[in-house]
Amino acid sequence: MKDEVIFKDFFNTIKSIWEPLGLNKRIIPFCTPLKVNPKFLVIGINHSDFDSNPTMADKIADAYSMGMPSTNTYIEHDHSFAKGLRAVIAGVNRQIDSFDREPNEDWVGTNRIAIQTGPEGAGEVMHAYGYEECQREMDKTLKSLISYIKPKNILLVGNEACDGLFYPAKPKQPMNNKKTKKVLINKETKETTNIIPLWHFSRGSFYQPCSSRIIEAIQNKLCDY
């Protein structure tokens, strides 16, 4: 019960961070239920459409914007990000059969930007007056969330999910140059997590490089599953 209350507090905090931008778009803090100590926390850039059917997409997005999700979008839905994640996981499993075959409740997710913009991407949000301050507050909140739920691994999907969070904002590094690493997430307990930067799932040609990077992380003891 305590965890549910705290997760709701995070939900409300994230809503309050992005509301001042006044973009008249849905604010969606999370796209899966949360849990403590999940295998993987997936952090993307921002939410696009959850379904190719506009009516269904709106229904899903409305539910996620109004309260903590009761469904896991990586399991339940067929949008491009979910399909991409499933393909990447399957690619790892083909080489390491003890790895998950597909997402499950141990794969939880959020985004660096909580405002849903659809397939046009996050540019409108990034160019809005006041965005930088919102992003700073969001990044602090994400790190607090990470410290609380203690994921074993974090997948940062896309350069914009990486830069300024766990990788330098400037000078920007191409994804090829970003390294998987272990970071401290709780100074008091000395707990750490693995940060695995991945190419965005928007193109199928990135699936195999993403799978290969996770496999390499496992081999280097930088992915605990």
Q: What span, in angstroms and rounded, lies between the C-alpha atoms of 128 and 109?
A: 25
| Residue 1 confidence (pLDDT) | 66
- How far, CA to CA in Å, does 85 sit from each of 61, 183, 225? 19, 23, 16
The amino acid occupying position 44 is G
DSSP string, 173-208: --GGG---EEEEEETTTTEEEEEEEE--TTSGGGHH
Residue-wise pLDDT for 127-159, tens only, equals: 999 999 999 999 999 999 999 999 999 999 999
Q: What span, in angstroms and rounded, lies between the C-alpha atoms of 131 and 136?
A: 9
| Residue 19 confidence (pLDDT) | 96
| Residue 123 confidence (pLDDT) | 87
Q: What span, in angstroms and rounded, lies between the C-alpha atoms of 153 and 16?
A: 27
| Residue 119 confidence (pLDDT) | 75
| Residue 47 confidence (pLDDT) | 87
Q: Angle formed by the axes of helices 207-219 and 80-95, to 10°?
A: 50
The full set of domains in the chain, from first to last, is 2-219 (3.40.470.10)
| Residue 162 confidence (pLDDT) | 97
Low-confidence ranges of the chain (pLDDT < 70): 1
N- to C-terminal Cα separation, the chain: 26
| Residue 48 confidence (pLDDT) | 87
Residue % of the chain over a pLDDT of 70: 100
Which of 148, 146, 103, 115 minimizes the C-alpha distance to 2?
Answer: 148
